[in-house]
Amino acid sequence: MFHFGLHFAYLQTFLGALALYFWLTLERPALFWSGFFTALFWFWWIGLSFRYYDLVWMVPFVIAGVGLVYGLIFWLIGFLGHPLLRAAALGALEWLHPLGFDWFRPALLFTGSIFGDSLWQLWIVLAALALFAAIRNRWRWVVPVSMLGALHMPQNTPPPDLPIKLVQTALNQRDKWDPRYLNLIVQANIASIKGAQMEGYKAVVLPESAFPLYLNMDPELVEELMGLSERVTILTGALYYENGRSYNSTYLFQKGSMRVMHKVVLVPFGEEVPLPKWIGGWVNKTFFKGASDYRTASEPSDFFMLGHKWRNAICYEATTDRLYEGDPKYMVAVSNNAWFLPSIEPSLQRLLLQLQANRHKTTIYHATNGPVTAVISPQ
């Protein structure tokens, strides 16, 4: 519903609880197909990125593969006969990350509903539904009352009034990395920065890889950005190259200086092959033309801007628990969602960011290539 701009909190709550109840009570074969089709509709867009590796033929196999992985997970849960055991397993899915991918979070069913999306609230709902399924007398109808403990009162906290311009671009993924368009893209970015400064903003944030090049290898462009940063702070995504290693990075230009912050958590199969070397090397050579995995920073990066401390995050990692260690108050996230357009991926990412904002009380400033650029406040 969120993808289509619809919000019915009570209907979402009912449908989310109904889905969990079915998972607690379905027979094992039906549970396999439920997991398969849930993953299919939730993650069908993953295969779309393979278009840009000239591997269109793999798209249906990737989509089916994702469905099979989650179908198998749900099938295994089906061996747990008692609803309480299944409830524990479904709650534990929060920590199950097949091949490093952690976007399947059952609590997301309640993000934006009248229930909260924290882990303890999910466990309350799961326990109540499991007891309702297990108890066979009239007292079972008293159990759902316990779900009132999972009710959530939205804070409706407005975002801070900070003079930050979030730039949203709409570049096609194939054109973005075409050398013929490089100069046009660079000049459009420079125009956005100058425009933000003229509009009175003190900082401007451009999306992930807004400059589609190894920015540190272009001293003239770096010099120009450092000059512009005397009047407005610039945060932008671009690649970084050093000692034969490539990084997906964020560049901070502030008061004539430059700082580079590298990504910490890479996208499985997009920026790294999360397999043992003996097969990972073959997969990389066969399907990704031998491209090396990106390198990472060892820890998340923090920086100061406009008198506040910020956590830096790049696309996928902004939805991961790793980037919220220490419960940062403010985060700047930059994304390139063009890999998966047209699809529901930007909407799913937006919901995951809202979930993390709610759990960690973090306000997220999110700039994207493609939808959805927004300031996300805890609810």
Catalytic site residues?
208, 263, 315
SS3 of the chain: the string is: CHHHCCCCHHHHHHHHHHHHHHHHHCCHHHHHHHHHHHHHHHHHHHHHHHHHHCCHHHHHHHHHHHHHHHHHHHHHHCCCCCHHHHHHHHHHHHHCCHHHCCCCCHHHHHCCCCECCCHHHHHHHHHHHHHHHHCCCHHHHHHHHHHHHHECCCCCCCCCCCCEEECCECCCHHHHCCHHHHHHHHHHHHHHHHHHHHCCCCEEECCCCCEEEEHHHCHHHHHHHHHHCCCCEEEEEEEEEECCEEEEEEEEEECCEEEEEECCCCCECCCECCCCHHHHHHHHHHHCCCCCCCECCCCCCEEEECCEEEEEEEHHHHHCHHHHCCCCCEEEEEEEHHHHCCCCHHHHHHHHHHHHHHHHCCEEEEEEECCCCEEECCC
